Each structure stands twice: as C-alpha cells, then as structure tokens.
C-alpha cells in the first residue's frame, strides 16, 4: 500500500466503529415499508424516530426519506409489526480520515450485500495500489483523482 489504509464495518447507522472516519467503511442499513392495514396509528414510531423522519398524516405514519438513516427503530418499536423490512444491506463510505486534516468519507454505494461490499473493498485497494503516491492517504487520492471518476471506476458493473 502507498500508506496506511483503514477499513471498518458497523452493523447499524449508529456507526460505533466510525465508518465515515476511515478510508473505507460499511454501515448497516434497512429499508422499511409500512403495511397500513396493520398500523393502529399509535404514533410510537413517530415518537421513537430520532431523525424526525416520520410524521402522522391522516392517522398513519408518513416517512420522509430525506431524513431517514435506515436504522430500523420504527420497525423495532411497532407494537403491531406494521413496519416491515423491505431490504437490508450496507451503505459504503470512502475517503474518510482523522488526524491533522480530518475529513468524513462520502457515500459511494447503498444497500450492498456482504459479497458486493467485499468486492468494493478489493477494488478500492487495487485502485489505491495503482493510483496512490507514496505516503498519500486514500482520502487525498480521492480528492486528487475526483470522487465522480473514482466512483465510476470502482462501481462499474455493480447493480
């Protein structure tokens, strides 16, 4: 490697292992859906949501996807199991680092499974070996190379 490279996995959006602060990080995410017929309009999910992504409209919770972090608190809190898991996987972040000039990683993929995540990590390592300069951090390489160009190269073939 041109320099150190740190990778981490967090099972949920609480991000305890700091996936946004490492060269590459995977963070567990869950996409939920509401089965309206099972919902009793108790608003417990609305009260539980730390992101304020839920609001009650016409007695049923409405999800604001712009605020949702895909944590599954709504699913866990529902007394009638009206919230269901639609899909689950990992969000992938790249280019984070701490130290003298900290930078949070940017999301490069969403809802990937473990196999896809490992493939992305392998391609990131290959990319770093091929394009990185000696003692250049991965995040600095991404800044120099361009994040859009990096994503296109790393994610080609991903569906």
pLDDT tens digits, 46-79: 999 999 999 999 999 999 999 999 999 999 999 9
Q: Please name which of 127, 117, 118, 97 lies closest in space to residue 20, comparing C-alpha atoms.
A: 97
pTM over 0.85: yes
Q: What is the pairing mode between strands 7-10 and 24-34?
A: parallel
Q: What is the largest CA-CA distance in the chain?
A: 60
Residue-wise pLDDT for 90-101, tens only, equals 999 999 999 999
Question: Quick one: 80 and 103 in the same domain?
Answer: no
Question: Quick one: 44 and 75 in the same domain?
Answer: yes
- Domain range for 145 is 7-29+89-155
CATH number of the domain encompassing residue 82: 3.30.70.20
Domain end position, chosen among 71, 86, 101: 86
**Rounded CA gap, 75 and 150, in Å?**
35
Question: Quick one: 73 and 129 in the same domain?
Answer: no
For residue 110, what are the CA distances in angstroms to 21, 51, 54, 65, 113? 17, 19, 21, 14, 9
* 158, pLDDT greater than 70: no
**Rounded CA gap, 68 and 66, in Å?**
6
Q: Give me the chain's average pLDDT, please.
A: 95
Q: What's the structural domain count of the chain?
A: 2
In a domain, 1, yes or no: no
Residue-wise pLDDT for 6-32, tens only, equals 999 999 888 999 999 999 999 999 999
CATH number of the domain encompassing residue 122: 3.30.413.10
Domain end position, chosen among 86, 112, 128: 86
**102 Cβ contact partners less than 8 Å away, ≥ 6 residues apart:** 21
Question: Quick one: 24 and 93 in the same domain?
Answer: yes
Question: Quick one: 146 and 77 in the same domain?
Answer: no
For range 32-56, the mean pLDDT: 97
For range 84-89, the mean pLDDT: 96
Report the share of the chain in percent with pLDDT over 70.
98
Token representation of residue 123: 């391609």
Query: Residue 100's Cα: distance from chain center in Å?
Result: 25
* 119, pLDDT greater than 70: yes
The three-class DSSP label of residue 139 is helix
Give the model's pLDDT for residue 13: 86
Question: Quick one: 151 and 112 in the same domain?
Answer: yes
Give the model's pLDDT for residue 157: 58
For range 90-119, the mean pLDDT: 96
Question: Quick one: 58 and 102 in the same domain?
Answer: no
Give the model's pLDDT for residue 12: 87
For range 100-116, the mean pLDDT: 95
At how many degrees (to 10) do helices 147-155 and 114-131 cross? Answer: 120
In a domain, 141, yes or no: yes
Question: Quick one: 69 and 108 in the same domain?
Answer: no
């Amino acid at each position: 490697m041109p320099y150190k490279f740190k990778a981490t996995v967090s099972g949920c959006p609480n991000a305890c292992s700091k996936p946004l602060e490492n060269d590459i990080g995977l963070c567990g995410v869950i996409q939920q859906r509401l089965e309206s017929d099972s919902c009793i309009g108790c608003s417990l999910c609305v009260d539980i949501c730390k992101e304020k992504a839920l609001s009650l409209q016409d007695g049923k919770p409405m999800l604001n996807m712009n605020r949702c972090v895909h944590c599954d608190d709504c699913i866990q809190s529902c007394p009638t199991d009206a919230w269901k898991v639609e899909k689950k996987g990992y969000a992938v972040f790249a280019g984070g680092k701490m130290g003298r000039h900290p930078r949070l990683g940017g999301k490069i993929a969403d809802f990937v499974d473990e196999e896809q995540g490992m493939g992305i990590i392998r391609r990131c390592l290959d990319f770093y070996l091929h394009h990185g300069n000696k003692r250049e951090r991965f995040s600095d390489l991404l800044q120099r190379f361009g994040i859009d160009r990096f994503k296109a190269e790393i994610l080609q073939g991903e569906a």
